[in-house]
């Protein structure tokens, strides 16, 4: 069975500082991995995804994530956060693009 | 990106009544839509896959007679929570598969259901 763990429930970061969100997964085969962002009143928006190839994936809004098979991790990073990055972030794993298992989410607060 | 809407965004109902939630793909056709449920501070759980013109496929542990899914057109799927009880209170999110281009899925903003 596939599962996702996001160890950090809530992270507070200063505007302009770097951000890293952790994600660990459990999956029997080569996984499809995703990061989504959810802002209040809006649907989940895909930030980036990994299927194969280069283990460092670039996404939208300046985010990137690195797949590390040996650590079963897919951590999300951004070098310099903006106040608009305050949101809830979800890591997900799936056997394809659609039937996904999500982590519990990490809430990011950005302080001025 | 493509847009998926849900209606209503919030609903409160009495225990024992049925509630229908709509999921629409606004600018693309979707033969496949998905319904998720999200409990507070927990992850989204896939409930079922909605297939246009055929029966939905339910995930293990999801009661198909409790959560009725109808996908009668290429832009609309509905989830009906029948004989709702307080434990059905949750945040329900749909997504729709866009097979054009990158073939990805887009999520609706969710529906908050509260059963009194």
| CA A43 vs CA B4, B92, B97, B108: distances in Å | 8, 11, 14, 5
Average pLDDT (B72-89) is 95
HEC states along B74-93?
CCEEEEEECCCCHHHCEEEE
pLDDT at B93 over 70: yes
pLDDT digits (tens, 9 = 90+) for A42-78: 888 999 999 888 899 999 999 999 999 999 999 999 9
User: Closest residue of B to A42, CA-based?
Assistant: B109
- Tell me what pLDDT residue B102 has: 66
Pick from A45, A97, A103: which is nearest to B43 by CB? A103
Average pLDDT (A1-18) is 94
pLDDT digits (tens, 9 = 90+) for A85-104: 999 999 999 877 778 889 99
- Which residues of chain B lie closer than 8 angstroms to A97, CB-CB? 97, 103-105
- Tell me what pLDDT residue A51 has: 87
**Around B54, how many Cα atoms within 13 Å sit in the side-chain half-sphere?**
7
- Tell me what pLDDT residue B1 has: 65
- Sign of the torsion angle spanned by Cα atoms A102, A77, B108, B11: positive
Structure tokens at B115: 């059963």
- Which residues of chain A lie closer than 8 angstroms to B49, CB-CB? 98-99
């Amino acid at each position: 069975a596939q599962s996702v763990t996001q160890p950090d429930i809530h992270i507070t970061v200063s505007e302009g500082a770097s951000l890293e969100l952790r994600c660990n997964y459990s999956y029997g085969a080569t996984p499809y991995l995703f990061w989504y962002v959810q802002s209040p009143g809006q649907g989940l928006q895909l930030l980036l995804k990994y299927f194969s190839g280069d283990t460092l994936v670039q996404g939208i809004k300046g985010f990137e994530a690195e797949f590390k098979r040996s650590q079963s991790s897919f951590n999300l990073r951004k070098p310099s956060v903006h106040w608009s990055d305050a949101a809830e972030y979800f890591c997900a794993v799936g056997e394809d693009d659609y039937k996904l298992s999500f982590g519990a989410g990490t809430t990011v607060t950005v302080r001025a | 990106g493509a847009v998926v809407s849900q209606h209503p965004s919030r609903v409160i109902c009495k225990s024992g009544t049925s509630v229908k939630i709509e999921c629409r793909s606004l600018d693309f056709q979707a033969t496949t839509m998905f319904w998720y449920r999200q409990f507070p501070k927990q992850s989204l759980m896939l409930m079922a896959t909605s297939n246009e013109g055929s029966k939905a496929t339910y995930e293990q542990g999801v009661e198909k007679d409790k959560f009725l899914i109808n996908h009668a057109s290429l832009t609309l799927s509905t989830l009906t929570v029948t004989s709702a009880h307080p434990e059905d209170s949750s945040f329900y999110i749909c997504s729709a598969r866009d097979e054009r281009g990158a073939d990805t899925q887009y999520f609706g903003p969710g529906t908050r259901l509260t059963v009194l």
